[in-house]
Amino acid sequence: MKYDVVVVGAGPVGSTAARHAALNGAKVLLLEEHASIGSPVGCTGLLSTRAVAECELKPSDEFVFNSVRGAAVHAPDGQCLPIDGKQTRAYVVSRKSFDRTLAVMAVEEGVELSLRTRAIGFEKTNPEAGKEGKESFQVKLKVLRNGKPETIATSVVIGADGVKSRIASYAGLEKPARVLPGIQIEAPYASDDSDFVELFPGSSAPGFFAWTVPVDEKISRIGLALEPALAWKNGQEEKSPLAYLEKFLRSNPHVKAKYSGSMLDFVVGGIPIGPQENTVSDGILLAGDAAGQTKPTSGGGIYTGAFAAKIAGKVAARAALEGDTSAKRLSEYDQLWRKGLGKELEIGMKIHDYVGKLEDRQLNDLIGSLNTPSILNTITEYGDMDHPSVLMRKLMFSGNSLRLMKAFGTFLKTLF
């Protein structure tokens, strides 16, 4: 079996990369280690409108459960910062249906799909020196298909196999800078308004935040993620994300009053933040969670992953067809995705680190400082799940700059 491009991982990023490789003329194989697309689920399932559009989809009843227009940010002392986007800003989706829709789109473009196929290693043959110094690496990808060993020959492998990427390990590429362990349940929950998610920063989820995401008026997804270095600092007893979630459900007054005490679903996973210095090697590209392309502010990775995946598919296909799959040739991908996402991810990491280190009393003061009509209007107009730097810049140069400088100190000046 010989392909131009093999994509490992049939999540949204992998399916998008595979489809765009096929659209650029490559013979493409898409591998998924599980028996079905979209299982198991390891995501909150809250996608920005831009994320859905970046995947070249329109919202559909096939995968959209609910639409969301804003957020209620709850400070540790109970005060609430209401952020109303005035229009749909995100969708609560079925990740199983969403992922399968993207996989079908890939297959419709000629991508071959192989389920229950797990990559277990690869070998690279010596490059064939071509014209103009081109180097054509051939990768022999070793897999277990339905438990039986096989070898698949390809010019380029795109690793879209998630936070624990085997392709990254096999290629000797670094992993993302940090991984935030997370947990989520789906449960009966009497939401105040199913048009709004709820966010709970502070010691309930050290270094990140807890959330409720309404599927409808009666059911919500409730979860949290942690920054391990902050959750268990100074010799503090190590607690699992489950222990933090159980404490949050029974001790937060707002949540406790609305949560019935049962659950309908349960997922755990890791959120990689901080992309590695290099996401390519000879014959190999990394995309999505495998490349640390997740937003550090929200933990979302579909918009950023799909953006990078389209570049990965195009570059991989063209490199394979040109007969030059060297790291030098494939570095075009690394350059292009960083040009589009790098600065935003860098600013997002600064925001993540700053807010995550605030103590509860500091968060109370900060949220209270933001809770004015003029600042809320600015947030409504410029707030963006995918580009938080836009809002931060507007806040820094707004008429509330003195008030904000008092709240943020010199932090805003460090962003740009």
Q: CB neighbours of 112 closer than 8 A, spacing ≥ 6? A: 3, 28, 29, 30
122-147 average pLDDT score: 82
pLDDT given at position 383: 86
What is the greatest pairwise CA distance in the chain? Answer: 70
Strand partners, 67: 91
Q: Which is it for strands 90-93 and 46-48: parallel, antiparallel or unpaired?
A: antiparallel
CA angle 80, 238, 254 (to 5 degrees): 20
DSSP letter (8 states) at residue 328: H
Q: Is the pLDDT of residue 412 over 70?
A: no
Average pLDDT over residues 209-222: 95
pLDDT digits (tens, 9 = 90+) for 25-83: 999 999 999 999 987 777 789 999 999 999 999 999 899 999 999 999 999 999 999 99
Task: With both helix axes pointing from N to C terminus, report the angle between 401-408 and 360-370 in degrees, rounded to the nearest 10.
Answer: 170
The pLDDT value given to residue 186: 94
3-state secondary structure of 147: coil
Report the DSSP pairing between strands 139-145 and 117-124: antiparallel
For 240-273, the pLDDT digits (tens) are: 899 999 999 999 999 999 998 888 888 999 999 9
**Nearest in space to 117 (alpha carbons), one of 86, 70, 152, 84:** 152
State yes or no: pLDDT of 131 exceeds 60: no
Total residues found in the chain within this entry: 416
Give me the sign of the Cα torsion angle 222, 227, 233, 238.
positive
**306-365 per-position pLDDT tens digit:** 999 999 999 999 999 999 999 999 999 999 999 999 999 999 999 999 999 999 999 998
d(CA 261, CA 342): 42
| Contact yes or no for 35/100 (Cβ under 8 A) | no
Alpha helices in 277-326 (DSSP H): 302-322
Instruction: Please state, in angstroms and rounded to a whole number, the distance separating the CA atoms of residues 360 and 342.
Output: 30
Catalogue the E-assigned strands of 217-350.
Answer: 219-225, 265-273, 280-281, 284-286
Residues 6+ apart with CB under 8 A from 106: 15, 16, 18, 19, 22, 28, 30, 113
pTM of the prediction?
A: 0.93
Six token digits for residue 20:
């765009």
Q: Taking the C-alpha atoms of 301, 303, 307 and 309 in order, what is their torsion angle to the nearest 10 degrees?
A: 50
Distance CA 141, CA 325 (A): 15
User: What does the pLDDT read at residue 409?
Assistant: 64
Q: What is the pLDDT of residue 400?
A: 62
Identify which of 379, 388, 394, 404 has the alpha carbon closest to the alpha carbon of residue 73. 379
Q: State the pLDDT at residue 394.
A: 80
Lowest average pLDDT, out of 152-161, 298-307, 361-370, 391-400, goes to 391-400
Q: Residue written as tokens 């493409």?
A: 28
Handedness of CA 343, 163, 270, 268 (dihedral sign): positive
| pLDDT band at residue 187 under the 50/70/90 scheme | very high
C-alpha 349 chain-centroid distance: 13
At residue 134, the pLDDT reads 75
